[in-house]
Amino acid sequence: MENKTRAQKFPEEGEFVMGTVSKIFPYGVFVKLTDYNGVEGMVHVSEVSNKWVKNIKDHVKDKQVVIVKVLKVVPGRGHVDLSIKSVKDIHRKKILDSHKRKQRVERILAMSEKNVKKESVEEVMDALEDGYEEAYSALEKILSEGEKALDGIELSDKWKKELVKISNDNIELPVVSIKAILELESDEGNGIETIRTAVKKARAANDDKEVSLELKYKGAPHYSIRLIGPDYKKIEKVLEKISAAAIDEMEGKGGSGQLIRE
């Protein structure tokens, strides 16, 4: 892969990023942004804390790692305005978790770099982050889809094959689950048979190989549902399909059905 000179990247306004305090003045704090090599932004004293700041050094320390919100960016001047007080705990946790995932990917790639002897770890990280929100997300997609997930990513074939191996050896797909109750009732003479058919149709309606379904009798007229999959969007789609299949069968044969969320 040809070594290209990459343009200086800047964060986007509204983005939450990690940085290290580099200089402290009475009027504000300068912060070097971790994921934007060479970019330094400023936190005005009014954006340091929601409390009154008598002495700025009581609120930030030199070389302290901080999470900041990007307020304004002027790339032509290299000017970035930041805020510390606008960062909530949920933003801080998300960025810290993301940084830990990035460090893990860099460590994994470093172990393979000597064997591949093509692009550097930095070049591979840049390529993955250009194609996906995070390099770790790219590895999750590779684990799920194989080398196809790297279509359009500018990397050598040798690195692409290595990334498939890395993903299989080191990455586990996230797992989430939801529970619900399927209520099925019928006063018809063949009601029991109708319910059995409805349950079979519900099981058959799950055509997503990434989502597992547990559908068990809980006690008349309830059946417990447990779905396990990689994300809530997929699970919700399957839940809608299996419940609709069962309810349609019940209502078509003079019975009734409803989905009860736990």
In the chain, where the domains are located: 16-85, 90-170, 176-261
* CATH superfamily assigned to domain 176-261: EIF_2_alpha (3.30.70.1130)
Q: How far apart are CA 105 and CA 109, in angstroms?
A: 6
Distances (CA, A) of 149 to 29, 40, 155, 167, 173: 42, 34, 12, 11, 15
Phi then psi dihedrals of residue 226, to 5 deg: -135, 125
Q: How far apart are CA 132 and CA 179, in angstroms?
A: 31
pLDDT in tens, 108-164: 999 888 788 778 999 999 899 888 889 999 998 899 889 999 998 999 999 999 999
Which option is the CATH number for 16-85: 2.40.50.140, 2.70.98.30, 3.40.50.300, 3.30.460.10? Answer: 2.40.50.140
Chain CA centroid to CA 74, Å: 29
Q: Please give the angle made by the CA atoms of 39, 41 and 42, to the nearest 5 degrees.
A: 160
- What is the reported pLDDT for 3? 43
- What is the reported pLDDT for 7? 59
* CATH superfamily assigned to domain 90-170: Translation initiation factor 2; subunit 1; domain 2 (1.10.150.190)
Classify the C-alpha dihedral 140-90-228-191 as positive or negative: negative
Whether 16-85 shares its CATH topology with 176-261 is answered: no
In this prediction, the residues of the chain whose per-residue pLDDT falls under 50 are 1-6
* Residue located via tokens 């050896």: 169
